[in-house]
A and B are shown apart, each in its own frame.
Chain A
Protein backbone atom coordinates (compact mmCIF):
# COMPACT_ATOMS: atom_id res chain seq x y z
CA UNK A 1 0.00 0.00 0.00
CA UNK A 2 1.37 3.33 -1.01
CA UNK A 3 1.62 6.11 1.53
CA UNK A 4 1.75 8.96 -0.93
CA UNK A 5 0.29 12.24 0.31
CA UNK A 6 -2.97 13.48 -1.15
CA UNK A 7 -5.00 16.72 -1.28
CA UNK A 8 -8.60 16.68 -0.16
CA UNK A 9 -11.64 18.81 -0.89
CA UNK A 10 -14.76 18.36 1.23
CA UNK A 11 -18.03 19.93 0.08
CA UNK A 12 -20.94 19.70 2.50
CA UNK A 13 -23.53 22.30 3.53
CA UNK A 14 -23.36 20.98 7.08
CA UNK A 15 -20.51 22.63 8.93
CA UNK A 16 -20.49 19.71 11.32
CA UNK A 17 -20.07 17.13 8.58
CA UNK A 18 -17.23 19.16 7.10
CA UNK A 19 -15.56 19.09 10.48
CA UNK A 20 -16.03 15.34 10.85
CA UNK A 21 -14.64 14.68 7.40
CA UNK A 22 -11.66 16.93 8.04
CA UNK A 23 -10.83 15.17 11.31
CA UNK A 24 -11.13 11.72 9.84
CA UNK A 25 -9.02 12.65 6.86
CA UNK A 26 -6.36 14.13 9.14
CA UNK A 27 -6.39 10.95 11.24
CA UNK A 28 -5.58 8.91 8.15
CA UNK A 29 -2.18 10.58 8.01
CA UNK A 30 -2.32 10.84 4.23
CA UNK A 31 -3.41 14.45 3.86
CA UNK A 32 -1.30 17.28 2.49
CA UNK A 33 -3.93 20.02 2.05
CA UNK A 34 -7.57 19.73 3.21
CA UNK A 35 -10.00 22.38 2.02
CA UNK A 36 -13.66 22.42 3.03
CA UNK A 37 -16.57 24.25 1.39
CA UNK A 38 -20.16 24.66 2.50
CA UNK A 39 -21.24 25.83 -0.92
CA UNK A 40 -20.40 23.92 -4.08
CA UNK A 41 -19.90 27.00 -6.32
CA UNK A 42 -17.03 28.09 -4.05
CA UNK A 43 -15.39 24.72 -4.62
CA UNK A 44 -15.67 25.16 -8.40
CA UNK A 45 -14.04 28.60 -8.14
CA UNK A 46 -11.28 27.08 -6.02
CA UNK A 47 -10.64 24.21 -8.44
CA UNK A 48 -10.39 26.67 -11.33
CA UNK A 49 -7.90 28.90 -9.55
CA UNK A 50 -5.75 26.63 -7.39
CA UNK A 51 -2.26 25.94 -8.65
CA UNK A 52 -1.47 22.26 -8.66
CA UNK A 53 1.08 20.94 -6.14
CA UNK A 54 1.49 17.82 -8.23
CA UNK A 55 -0.55 15.63 -5.86
CA UNK A 56 -3.77 13.81 -6.54
CA UNK A 57 -6.86 15.50 -5.04
CA UNK A 58 -9.79 13.56 -3.65
CA UNK A 59 -13.16 15.31 -3.54
CA UNK A 60 -15.89 14.26 -1.13
CA UNK A 61 -19.13 15.93 -2.12
CA UNK A 62 -22.51 15.65 -0.43
CA UNK A 63 -25.49 15.11 -2.72
CA UNK A 64 -28.21 17.12 -1.03
CA UNK A 65 -27.22 20.73 -0.70
CA UNK A 66 -29.05 23.98 -1.35
CA UNK A 67 -27.93 26.38 -4.11
CA UNK A 68 -25.88 23.77 -6.02
CA UNK A 69 -26.39 20.12 -5.19
CA UNK A 70 -23.86 17.34 -5.58
CA UNK A 71 -25.05 16.33 -9.04
CA UNK A 72 -24.96 19.89 -10.29
CA UNK A 73 -21.46 20.18 -8.89
CA UNK A 74 -20.31 17.09 -10.77
CA UNK A 75 -21.92 18.33 -14.00
CA UNK A 76 -20.19 21.69 -13.65
CA UNK A 77 -16.93 19.91 -12.84
CA UNK A 78 -17.22 17.71 -15.93
CA UNK A 79 -17.57 20.80 -18.10
CA UNK A 80 -14.13 22.02 -17.00
CA UNK A 81 -11.14 21.44 -19.33
CA UNK A 82 -9.69 17.94 -19.23
CA UNK A 83 -6.21 19.02 -18.07
CA UNK A 84 -7.81 20.68 -15.05
CA UNK A 85 -9.86 17.62 -14.15
CA UNK A 86 -7.25 14.91 -14.52
CA UNK A 87 -5.85 15.29 -11.01
CA UNK A 88 -9.18 14.82 -9.23
CA UNK A 89 -11.16 11.81 -8.01
CA UNK A 90 -14.71 12.42 -6.87
CA UNK A 91 -16.61 10.48 -4.22
CA UNK A 92 -20.25 11.30 -3.62
CA UNK A 93 -21.70 11.16 -0.13
CA UNK A 94 -25.29 11.00 0.94
CA UNK A 95 -27.47 10.32 3.92
CA UNK A 96 -30.36 9.42 1.66
CA UNK A 97 -31.04 5.80 0.88
CA UNK A 98 -32.65 6.86 -2.35
CA UNK A 99 -31.98 4.30 -5.05
CA UNK A 100 -32.43 6.84 -7.82
CA UNK A 101 -29.57 8.83 -6.35
CA UNK A 102 -27.34 5.77 -6.12
CA UNK A 103 -28.16 4.78 -9.68
CA UNK A 104 -27.57 8.32 -10.90
CA UNK A 105 -24.08 8.39 -9.39
CA UNK A 106 -23.06 5.55 -11.70
CA UNK A 107 -23.90 7.72 -14.71
CA UNK A 108 -21.08 10.18 -14.07
CA UNK A 109 -17.72 9.11 -15.40
CA UNK A 110 -15.79 11.38 -13.09
CA UNK A 111 -17.38 9.91 -9.96
CA UNK A 112 -15.45 7.00 -8.51
CA UNK A 113 -17.96 5.78 -6.00
CA UNK A 114 -21.00 6.47 -3.85
CA UNK A 115 -20.38 6.46 -0.10
CA UNK A 116 -22.86 6.39 2.72
CA UNK A 117 -22.67 9.02 5.40
CA UNK A 118 -21.07 9.34 7.85
CA UNK A 119 -17.49 9.10 6.72
CA UNK A 120 -15.69 6.82 9.17
CA UNK A 121 -12.12 5.75 9.67
CA UNK A 122 -13.08 2.48 8.02
CA UNK A 123 -14.68 3.96 4.93
CA UNK A 124 -11.89 6.43 4.40
CA UNK A 125 -9.15 3.82 4.62
CA UNK A 126 -11.05 1.76 2.05
CA UNK A 127 -10.97 4.74 -0.30
CA UNK A 128 -7.32 5.49 0.39
CA UNK A 129 -6.21 1.94 -0.36
CA UNK A 130 -6.85 2.73 -4.00
CA UNK A 131 -4.27 5.53 -4.07
Chain B
Protein backbone atom coordinates (compact mmCIF):
# COMPACT_ATOMS: atom_id res chain seq x y z
CA UNK B 1 0.00 0.00 0.00
CA UNK B 2 1.41 3.40 -0.98
CA UNK B 3 2.19 6.00 1.65
CA UNK B 4 0.16 8.64 -0.13
CA UNK B 5 -2.99 6.66 0.29
CA UNK B 6 -4.58 7.65 3.59
CA UNK B 7 -6.06 5.07 5.91
CA UNK B 8 -9.86 5.15 5.69
CA UNK B 9 -11.52 5.54 9.06
CA UNK B 10 -15.20 5.60 10.02
CA UNK B 11 -16.36 7.21 13.23
CA UNK B 12 -19.88 6.84 14.61
CA UNK B 13 -21.26 9.01 17.38
CA UNK B 14 -24.74 10.39 18.07
CA UNK B 15 -23.31 13.71 19.22
CA UNK B 16 -22.61 16.03 16.26
CA UNK B 17 -20.02 17.98 18.26
CA UNK B 18 -17.90 14.88 18.73
CA UNK B 19 -18.05 14.13 15.02
CA UNK B 20 -16.94 17.64 14.14
CA UNK B 21 -14.05 17.62 16.56
CA UNK B 22 -12.98 14.11 15.50
CA UNK B 23 -12.89 15.13 11.88
CA UNK B 24 -11.04 18.35 12.71
CA UNK B 25 -8.40 16.49 14.70
CA UNK B 26 -7.70 13.62 12.31
CA UNK B 27 -8.56 14.68 8.78
CA UNK B 28 -4.93 15.46 7.95
CA UNK B 29 -3.72 12.02 8.94
CA UNK B 30 -6.62 9.90 7.77
CA UNK B 31 -9.43 9.82 5.33
CA UNK B 32 -12.25 10.31 7.83
CA UNK B 33 -15.87 9.32 7.36
CA UNK B 34 -18.36 10.22 10.07
CA UNK B 35 -21.86 8.97 10.81
CA UNK B 36 -24.51 10.26 13.15
CA UNK B 37 -26.26 6.93 13.49
CA UNK B 38 -25.73 3.27 12.60
CA UNK B 39 -27.75 3.44 9.36
CA UNK B 40 -25.51 6.17 8.05
CA UNK B 41 -22.49 4.15 9.18
CA UNK B 42 -23.64 1.08 7.28
CA UNK B 43 -24.20 3.20 4.17
CA UNK B 44 -20.59 4.42 4.40
CA UNK B 45 -19.30 0.89 4.79
CA UNK B 46 -21.24 -0.29 1.77
CA UNK B 47 -19.96 2.55 -0.36
CA UNK B 48 -16.36 2.25 0.86
CA UNK B 49 -15.42 -1.37 1.22
CA UNK B 50 -11.82 -0.34 1.88
CA UNK B 51 -12.56 1.38 5.19
CA UNK B 52 -10.12 -0.40 7.46
CA UNK B 53 -10.92 0.96 10.93
CA UNK B 54 -14.35 1.61 12.46
CA UNK B 55 -14.58 3.57 15.71
CA UNK B 56 -17.88 3.70 17.48
CA UNK B 57 -19.23 5.47 20.53
CA UNK B 58 -20.68 3.00 23.00
CA UNK B 59 -23.65 5.00 24.21
CA UNK B 60 -26.02 5.83 21.37
CA UNK B 61 -29.82 6.15 21.43
CA UNK B 62 -30.76 3.43 18.90
CA UNK B 63 -28.22 0.83 19.95
CA UNK B 64 -24.94 0.51 21.80
CA UNK B 65 -21.58 0.45 20.01
CA UNK B 66 -21.16 -3.21 20.96
CA UNK B 67 -24.53 -4.08 19.45
CA UNK B 68 -23.63 -2.17 16.32
CA UNK B 69 -20.33 -4.03 15.97
CA UNK B 70 -22.05 -7.33 16.50
CA UNK B 71 -24.53 -6.44 13.79
CA UNK B 72 -22.02 -5.34 11.14
CA UNK B 73 -19.55 -8.15 11.75
CA UNK B 74 -21.31 -10.49 9.33
CA UNK B 75 -21.62 -8.13 6.40
CA UNK B 76 -18.32 -6.34 7.01
CA UNK B 77 -15.94 -8.78 8.66
CA UNK B 78 -12.77 -7.03 7.59
CA UNK B 79 -12.72 -3.53 9.16
CA UNK B 80 -11.12 -3.51 12.58
CA UNK B 81 -13.42 -2.34 15.39
CA UNK B 82 -12.50 0.19 18.07
CA UNK B 83 -14.91 1.15 20.85
CA UNK B 84 -14.97 4.60 22.44
CA UNK B 85 -16.79 5.17 25.68
CA UNK B 86 -16.87 7.43 28.71
CA UNK B 87 -18.34 4.69 30.87
CA UNK B 88 -15.25 2.77 31.72
CA UNK B 89 -16.96 0.01 33.61
CA UNK B 90 -15.33 -3.38 33.31
CA UNK B 91 -18.65 -5.02 32.36
CA UNK B 92 -19.00 -3.11 29.10
CA UNK B 93 -15.36 -3.69 28.26
CA UNK B 94 -15.75 -7.45 28.62
CA UNK B 95 -18.95 -7.31 26.66
CA UNK B 96 -17.33 -5.31 23.94
CA UNK B 97 -14.47 -7.70 23.53
CA UNK B 98 -16.52 -10.87 23.70
CA UNK B 99 -19.59 -9.93 21.73
CA UNK B 100 -18.41 -7.30 19.32
CA UNK B 101 -14.90 -8.62 18.73
CA UNK B 102 -13.43 -5.23 19.48
CA UNK B 103 -9.75 -4.84 18.79
CA UNK B 104 -9.11 -1.72 20.85
CA UNK B 105 -10.84 0.29 23.50
CA UNK B 106 -10.52 4.08 23.94
CA UNK B 107 -11.66 6.11 26.91
CA UNK B 108 -13.58 9.35 26.51
CA UNK B 109 -12.53 12.12 26.50
CA UNK B 110 -9.87 10.81 24.19
CA UNK B 111 -6.26 11.84 23.95
CA UNK B 112 -5.33 12.47 20.33
CA UNK B 113 -2.23 10.27 20.52
CA UNK B 114 -4.22 7.35 21.91
CA UNK B 115 -6.65 7.56 19.04
CA UNK B 116 -3.85 7.78 16.48
CA UNK B 117 -2.00 4.85 17.91
CA UNK B 118 -5.24 2.85 18.07
CA UNK B 119 -6.03 3.63 14.44
CA UNK B 120 -2.51 2.88 13.22
CA UNK B 121 -2.32 -0.42 15.05
CA UNK B 122 -5.81 -1.39 13.99
CA UNK B 123 -4.86 -0.67 10.41
CA UNK B 124 -1.77 -2.81 10.70
CA UNK B 125 -3.92 -5.61 12.06
CA UNK B 126 -6.35 -5.07 9.18
CA UNK B 127 -3.59 -5.36 6.59
CA UNK B 128 -2.17 -8.47 8.23
CA UNK B 129 -5.50 -10.25 8.43
CA UNK B 130 -6.49 -9.32 4.88
CA UNK B 131 -3.17 -10.64 3.64
CA UNK B 132 -3.77 -13.78 5.59
CA UNK B 133 -7.20 -14.18 4.02
CA UNK B 134 -5.75 -13.74 0.54
CA UNK B 135 -2.93 -16.18 1.29
CA UNK B 136 -5.40 -18.67 2.67
CA UNK B 137 -7.45 -18.48 -0.48
CA UNK B 138 -4.35 -18.96 -2.61
CA UNK B 139 -3.33 -21.87 -0.46
CA UNK B 140 -6.73 -23.49 -0.79
CA UNK B 141 -6.51 -23.12 -4.56
CA UNK B 142 -3.03 -24.59 -4.55
CA UNK B 143 -4.21 -27.56 -2.49
CA UNK B 144 -7.06 -28.22 -4.89
CA UNK B 145 -4.72 -28.11 -7.83
CA UNK B 146 -2.26 -30.35 -6.07
CA UNK B 147 -4.98 -32.93 -5.53
CA UNK B 148 -5.92 -32.83 -9.16
CA UNK B 149 -2.29 -32.91 -10.11
CA UNK B 150 -1.39 -35.87 -7.93
CA UNK B 151 -4.23 -37.85 -9.46
CA UNK B 152 -3.37 -36.97 -13.01
CA UNK B 153 0.38 -37.22 -12.59
CA UNK B 154 0.13 -40.89 -11.75
CA UNK B 155 -1.78 -41.40 -14.95
CA UNK B 156 0.08 -39.07 -17.29
CA UNK B 157 3.56 -39.69 -16.00
CA UNK B 158 3.27 -43.36 -15.20
CA UNK B 159 1.24 -44.04 -18.33
CA UNK B 160 4.09 -43.79 -20.83
CA UNK B 161 6.47 -45.59 -18.47
CA UNK B 162 4.05 -48.47 -18.10
CA UNK B 163 3.61 -48.59 -21.86
CA UNK B 164 7.35 -48.93 -22.27
CA UNK B 165 7.44 -51.68 -19.64
CA UNK B 166 4.68 -53.44 -21.52
CA UNK B 167 6.61 -53.28 -24.76
CA UNK B 168 9.76 -54.52 -23.06
CA UNK B 169 7.80 -57.51 -21.81
CA UNK B 170 6.65 -58.12 -25.36
CA UNK B 171 10.07 -57.59 -26.93
CA UNK B 172 11.66 -60.11 -24.60
CA UNK B 173 9.42 -62.77 -26.07
CA UNK B 174 10.01 -61.82 -29.67
CA UNK B 175 12.77 -63.25 -31.83
CA UNK B 176 11.90 -61.20 -34.87
CA UNK B 177 14.30 -58.26 -35.23
CA UNK B 178 11.96 -56.28 -37.48
CA UNK B 179 9.27 -56.52 -34.87
CA UNK B 180 11.66 -55.48 -32.13
CA UNK B 181 12.63 -52.43 -34.19
CA UNK B 182 8.97 -51.52 -34.53
CA UNK B 183 8.68 -51.80 -30.78
CA UNK B 184 11.64 -49.49 -30.28
CA UNK B 185 9.82 -46.85 -32.32
CA UNK B 186 6.86 -47.24 -30.04
CA UNK B 187 8.98 -46.89 -26.95
CA UNK B 188 10.43 -43.74 -28.45
CA UNK B 189 6.93 -42.33 -28.91
CA UNK B 190 5.99 -43.11 -25.35
CA UNK B 191 9.13 -41.45 -24.03
CA UNK B 192 8.54 -38.39 -26.22
CA UNK B 193 5.07 -38.13 -24.78
CA UNK B 194 6.44 -38.22 -21.27
CA UNK B 195 9.03 -35.63 -22.15
CA UNK B 196 6.33 -33.38 -23.59
CA UNK B 197 4.35 -33.74 -20.39
CA UNK B 198 7.34 -32.80 -18.28
CA UNK B 199 8.03 -29.77 -20.44
CA UNK B 200 4.44 -28.64 -20.01
CA UNK B 201 4.80 -29.18 -16.32
CA UNK B 202 7.87 -27.00 -16.36
CA UNK B 203 5.93 -24.29 -18.21
CA UNK B 204 3.19 -24.58 -15.65
CA UNK B 205 5.55 -23.93 -12.78
CA UNK B 206 7.37 -21.13 -14.55
CA UNK B 207 4.02 -19.37 -14.98
CA UNK B 208 2.87 -20.18 -11.49
CA UNK B 209 5.94 -19.34 -9.50
CA UNK B 210 7.88 -17.16 -11.84
CA UNK B 211 7.58 -13.42 -11.60
CA UNK B 212 6.49 -11.69 -14.75
CA UNK B 213 9.49 -10.02 -16.33
CA UNK B 214 8.47 -7.11 -18.54
CA UNK B 215 10.76 -6.40 -21.48
CA UNK B 216 10.35 -4.91 -24.91
CA UNK B 217 8.89 -7.49 -27.25
CA UNK B 218 9.78 -7.62 -30.90
CA UNK B 219 7.15 -9.88 -32.42
CA UNK B 220 9.17 -10.32 -35.62
CA UNK B 221 11.80 -12.08 -33.52
CA UNK B 222 9.26 -14.08 -31.55
CA UNK B 223 7.57 -15.32 -34.72
CA UNK B 224 10.96 -16.06 -36.31
CA UNK B 225 11.89 -18.26 -33.34
CA UNK B 226 8.58 -20.10 -33.55
CA UNK B 227 8.88 -20.55 -37.33
CA UNK B 228 12.21 -22.24 -36.83
CA UNK B 229 10.59 -24.67 -34.42
CA UNK B 230 7.51 -25.38 -36.53
CA UNK B 231 9.20 -25.40 -39.95
CA UNK B 232 10.01 -29.09 -39.52
CA UNK B 233 6.53 -30.04 -38.33
CA UNK B 234 5.05 -28.04 -41.17
CA UNK B 235 7.12 -29.88 -43.79
CA UNK B 236 6.78 -33.30 -42.22
CA UNK B 237 3.02 -33.16 -41.87
CA UNK B 238 2.45 -31.21 -45.05
CA UNK B 239 0.79 -28.24 -43.31
CA UNK B 240 1.04 -24.81 -44.92
CA UNK B 241 2.25 -22.35 -42.27
CA UNK B 242 1.57 -18.64 -42.92
CA UNK B 243 2.87 -15.95 -40.63
CA UNK B 244 2.35 -12.21 -40.60
CA UNK B 245 3.42 -9.55 -38.14
CA UNK B 246 2.23 -5.93 -38.07
CA UNK B 247 3.94 -4.17 -35.26
CA UNK B 248 4.15 -0.42 -35.77
CA UNK B 249 4.87 0.49 -32.16
CA UNK B 250 6.92 -0.72 -29.24
CA UNK B 251 5.27 -3.31 -27.03
CA UNK B 252 6.21 -4.36 -23.53
CA UNK B 253 5.25 -7.64 -21.91
CA UNK B 254 6.64 -10.88 -20.51
CA UNK B 255 8.58 -12.72 -23.19
CA UNK B 256 8.40 -16.18 -21.58
CA UNK B 257 4.62 -16.02 -21.12
CA UNK B 258 4.05 -14.90 -24.71
CA UNK B 259 6.18 -17.75 -26.01
CA UNK B 260 4.31 -20.27 -23.86
CA UNK B 261 1.00 -18.97 -25.18
CA UNK B 262 1.97 -19.03 -28.86
CA UNK B 263 3.82 -22.31 -28.56
CA UNK B 264 0.83 -24.10 -27.09
CA UNK B 265 -1.65 -22.66 -29.56
CA UNK B 266 0.58 -23.48 -32.53
CA UNK B 267 1.39 -26.97 -31.36
CA UNK B 268 -2.36 -27.65 -31.05
CA UNK B 269 -3.04 -26.12 -34.47
CA UNK B 270 -0.48 -28.42 -36.08
CA UNK B 271 -1.53 -31.43 -34.06
CA UNK B 272 -5.30 -31.39 -34.52
CA UNK B 273 -5.39 -31.44 -38.32
CA UNK B 274 -7.70 -33.50 -40.48
CA UNK B 275 -5.48 -36.35 -41.59
CA UNK B 276 -6.94 -36.77 -45.06
CA UNK B 277 -7.07 -33.04 -45.84
CA UNK B 278 -4.81 -32.17 -48.79
CA UNK B 279 -4.86 -28.45 -47.94
CA UNK B 280 -3.87 -28.31 -44.27
CA UNK B 281 -3.25 -24.77 -43.04
CA UNK B 282 -2.08 -22.92 -39.95
CA UNK B 283 -2.11 -19.11 -39.93
CA UNK B 284 -0.40 -17.01 -37.32
CA UNK B 285 -1.07 -13.29 -37.27
CA UNK B 286 0.25 -10.72 -34.82
CA UNK B 287 -0.99 -7.13 -34.87
CA UNK B 288 0.08 -4.50 -32.37
CA UNK B 289 -2.04 -1.38 -32.41
CA UNK B 290 -2.80 1.30 -29.82
CA UNK B 291 -1.16 -0.54 -26.97
CA UNK B 292 -2.86 -3.88 -27.62
CA UNK B 293 -1.33 -6.95 -29.20
CA UNK B 294 -3.77 -9.26 -30.97
CA UNK B 295 -2.43 -12.74 -31.70
CA UNK B 296 -4.49 -14.99 -33.93
CA UNK B 297 -3.80 -18.68 -34.47
CA UNK B 298 -6.08 -20.19 -37.06
CA UNK B 299 -6.24 -23.73 -38.41
CA UNK B 300 -8.59 -25.69 -40.64
CA UNK B 301 -8.31 -28.82 -38.52
CA UNK B 302 -10.79 -31.10 -36.79
CA UNK B 303 -12.37 -28.36 -34.64
CA UNK B 304 -13.54 -28.63 -31.05
CA UNK B 305 -16.86 -30.31 -30.22
CA UNK B 306 -19.38 -27.65 -29.19
CA UNK B 307 -20.01 -29.15 -25.77
CA UNK B 308 -16.29 -29.18 -24.99
CA UNK B 309 -15.45 -25.58 -25.87
CA UNK B 310 -16.26 -24.23 -22.42
CA UNK B 311 -13.99 -26.81 -20.78
CA UNK B 312 -10.85 -26.74 -22.90
CA UNK B 313 -9.04 -24.34 -20.57
CA UNK B 314 -9.53 -26.60 -17.55
CA UNK B 315 -6.56 -28.44 -16.19
CA UNK B 316 -6.21 -31.97 -17.58
CA UNK B 317 -9.32 -31.63 -19.70
CA UNK B 318 -9.05 -33.40 -23.04
CA UNK B 319 -11.67 -33.09 -25.72
CA UNK B 320 -10.39 -35.82 -27.98
CA UNK B 321 -8.36 -39.00 -28.12
CA UNK B 322 -7.28 -38.22 -31.69
CA UNK B 323 -3.79 -37.18 -30.66
CA UNK B 324 -1.62 -37.42 -27.59
CA UNK B 325 -1.95 -34.43 -25.31
CA UNK B 326 -1.23 -33.67 -21.72
CA UNK B 327 -4.42 -31.75 -20.92
CA UNK B 328 -2.07 -29.06 -19.70
CA UNK B 329 -1.45 -26.81 -22.68
CA UNK B 330 -4.48 -24.54 -22.82
CA UNK B 331 -4.61 -24.38 -19.05
CA UNK B 332 -1.09 -22.95 -19.18
CA UNK B 333 -2.16 -20.49 -21.88
CA UNK B 334 -5.02 -19.22 -19.75
CA UNK B 335 -2.82 -19.03 -16.69
CA UNK B 336 -0.16 -17.04 -18.52
CA UNK B 337 -2.78 -14.66 -19.89
CA UNK B 338 -4.05 -14.13 -16.37
CA UNK B 339 -0.62 -12.86 -15.42
CA UNK B 340 -0.43 -10.53 -18.42
CA UNK B 341 -3.96 -9.20 -17.98
CA UNK B 342 -4.85 -10.64 -21.38
CA UNK B 343 -7.83 -12.44 -22.79
CA UNK B 344 -8.51 -15.38 -25.12
CA UNK B 345 -11.45 -16.19 -27.35
CA UNK B 346 -12.09 -19.25 -29.44
CA UNK B 347 -14.36 -19.98 -32.37
CA UNK B 348 -14.49 -23.48 -33.71
CA UNK B 349 -16.45 -25.77 -35.97
CA UNK B 350 -15.84 -29.14 -37.51
CA UNK B 351 -16.01 -27.72 -41.03
CA UNK B 352 -14.03 -24.48 -40.60
CA UNK B 353 -11.47 -25.49 -37.98
CA UNK B 354 -10.46 -23.48 -34.96
CA UNK B 355 -9.39 -19.87 -34.40
CA UNK B 356 -7.90 -18.64 -31.16
CA UNK B 357 -7.72 -14.87 -30.69
CA UNK B 358 -5.52 -13.60 -27.89
CA UNK B 359 -5.42 -9.96 -26.80
CA UNK B 360 -2.65 -8.69 -24.54
CA UNK B 361 -2.38 -5.12 -23.25
CA UNK B 362 0.93 -3.27 -23.34
CA UNK B 363 2.55 -3.03 -19.89
Contact = CB atoms under 8 A, between A and B. Distances in A.
Interface in B133-176: 151, 154-155, 158-159, 162-163, 165-167, 169-170, 173
Contact of B321 (A16, A27, A67): A67
Contact of B173 (A39, A117, A121): A121
Contact of A65 (B166, B319, B321): B321
B31 interface: no
Interface in B156-199: 158-159, 162-163, 165-167, 169-170, 173, 186, 189-190
Interface in B310-327: 317-321, 324, 327
Contact of B155 (A20, A24, A64, A119): A64
Range of interface residues on A (Cβ < 8 Å): 20 to 34
A19 interface: yes
A94 B152 CA distance: 12
A97 B154 contact: yes
B182 to A, nearest CB: 9
Contacts of B151: 96, 98
A39 B170 contact: no
A95 B186 contact: no
Nearest to A20: B166
Contacts of B173: 27, 121
A99 to B, nearest CB: 11
A29 interface: no
B163 A66 contact: no
B320 A95 contact: no
Contacts of A117: 158-159, 162-163, 166
Given A65-B321, A117-B162, A118-B165, A20 B170 contact: yes
**Chain B interface, >50% SS class:** helix
A43 B20 CA distance: 80
Interface residues of B, number: 23
A43 to B, nearest CB: 12
A87 interface: no
Contact of B170 (A14, A23, A38): A23
Nearest to B150: A98
A16 B163 contact: yes
Interface string A55-84: 000000000111100000000000000000
A66 B170 contact: no
Residue in A27, A38, A39, A66 with the greatest tally of chain B CB atoms within 10 Å: A66
Interface in A94-131: 94-98, 117-121
A94 B156 CA distance: 11
Contacts of B319: 66-67
Contact of A120 (B159, B169, B321, B324): B169
Contacts of A27: 170, 173
Contacts of B163: 14, 16-17, 20, 117-118
Contacts of B167: 16, 20
A16 B155 contact: no
Interface in B283-300: none
Nearest to B179: A23
B159 A14 contact: yes
A96 B166 contact: no
Contacts of A24: 166, 169-170
A36 to B, nearest CB: 12
Given A20-B163, A66-B318, A118 B169 contact: yes
The 8 closest A-B pairs by CB, nearest first: A118-B166, A66-B318, A20-B166, A13-B321, A117-B162, A96-B154, A95-B158, A118-B162
Interface of B: 151, 154-155, 158-159, 162-163, 165-167, 169-170, 173, 186, 189-190, 317-321, 324, 327
Interface of A: 13-14, 16-17, 19-20, 23-24, 27, 38-39, 64-67, 94-98, 117-121
25 contacts: A13-B321, A14-B324, A16-B190, A17-B163, A17-B166, A20-B166, A20-B170, A23-B170, A24-B166, A24-B169, A38-B321, A39-B321, A64-B155, A66-B317, A66-B318, A66-B320, A66-B327, A67-B321, A96-B158, A97-B158, A98-B151, A98-B154, A117-B166, A118-B162, A120-B169
Given A67-B320, A95-B154, 6 more contacts: A14-B324, A17-B163, A66-B318, A67-B319, A117-B163, A118-B163
